[in-house]
Amino acid sequence: MKEKLIDLFEYTYHFNKEMIKHIAENISKVDEKTISLINHTLNAQQIWNSRILGEKTFEVWQINTFESLYEINHQNFLKSIDIIQNLDLDNRIEYKNSRGTKFENSIFEMLFHAVNHSTYHRGQINSLLKQNGIDPLLTDYIFYKR
């Protein structure tokens, strides 16, 4: 189970990195919504990792310097892998969402959500890129595994 989850985070890390690069290469044609979504994608993984570890979280929609996105993605990846390798994925964590409502989920559920969330928003980003005349990236998991 842990190996499969690590594989999903390697996939997420790889395509987040490729998406940041693709946006950077086309920055003159990219709109603000695209910048907001790539930041949100990375912020959300940081938030889920931090909830699990009891650390300070980013704001959901904070805009980071574009140059910092590669490092945020890298740190997110390292923390997610560390969590997978060193914590019991069945442990339940109580946390508050961005509105202050309390919830409780297993570490596995939180991490799996982070992977799905990233995939979802990369799809949105691809739609925005296409609307702005930029070729979208093929980011499907199966392309990663080929």
List pLDDT tens digits, range 85-111: 999 999 999 999 989 999 999 999 999
Q: How much is the pLDDT for 48? A: 98
pLDDT band at 45 (very low <50, low <70, confident <90, very high): very high
pLDDT band at 62 (very low <50, low <70, confident <90, very high): very high
Q: How much is the pLDDT for 74? A: 98
**What is the SS3 assignment for the chain?**
CHHHHHHHHHHHHHHHHHHHHHHHHCHHHCCHHHHHHHHHHHHHHHHHHHHHHCCCCCCCCCCCCHHHHHHHHHHHHHHHHHHHHHCCCCCEEEEECCCCCEEEEEHHHHHHHHHHHHHHHHHHHHHHHHHCCCCCCCCCHHHHHC
Q: How far apart are CA 119 and CA 31, in angstroms?
A: 20
Could you give the domains of the chain?
Answer: 2-145 (1.20.120.450)
Contact predicate 34/125, CB 8 Å: yes
Q: How far apart are CA 29 and CA 46, in angstroms?
A: 27
pLDDT, tens only, 15-39: 999 999 999 999 999 999 999 999 9
